[in-house]
Amino acid sequence: MAYKREDIFDDEITSRIAEHVEAVLELLGEDPHREGLTKTPERVARSLQYLTKGYAQDGSSVLKEALFEEHYSEMVLVRDIDIFSLCEHHLLPFIGKCHIAYIPDGKIVGLSKIARLVEVYARRLQVQERLSVEIASCLQEALGAKGVAVSLEAMHCCMVMRGVEKPGTMTSTFAYTGVFESSAELRREFLQAMQR
């Protein structure tokens, strides 16, 4: 489902956020009225609304738009889904890849909806651990799959740009449901398939 501009941006919210951004710029010692910054508060306000648009979306609804009866019982793997999210601790981005596998139990889902599901939860203030679990839980619940496996690999700007300042550091998280949770062999198969 494509979202129109008016679905994401609320003029009153934009104005209120922009006022706060202007105050932050002043507190940092900047002049928010100088040429390069005159429109920055509004740009930041719209950017934040876009980057958190997932709050207005429902993952289950996205998946239910494309559920199909199908008697396929092997692993379905969608790899290398780009993720862009904001760390809830510093409001700095974390960027990476998401890999999702599921074993159907009579239902499959349109593949693009899996990527849309990732987007719904990534476009919220997040921690990577919770993001992994939310994606797995939603897919499990909507599909009634035999099991779901999710792996996220991301670079966190809060570790790279500030704090310990360690460029190149990657964080991996995993979430498993159903047969992936109970079978070490299936988890190994999932991890090996991700590497191909």
Indicate which residues carry an active-site annotation: 87-90, 128, 156, 158
* List of residues 6+ apart from 119 with CB closer than 8 A: 54
d(Cα 121, Cα 116) in Å, to the nearest integer? 9
Dihedral angle over CA of 130, 180, 187, 112, nearest 10 = -70
Dihedral angle over CA of 153, 158, 162, 165, nearest 10 = -20
d(Cα 196, Cα 179) in Å, to the nearest integer? 22
Strand runs labelled E in 88-146: 93-103, 107-109, 125-126
d(Cα 68, Cα 164) in Å, to the nearest integer? 47
Q: Tokens 């693009």 — which residue?
A: 112
CA torsion through residues 160, 87, 135, 113, sign: negative
Residue 143 tokens read as 């599909």
d(Cα 12, Cα 28) in Å, to the nearest integer? 25
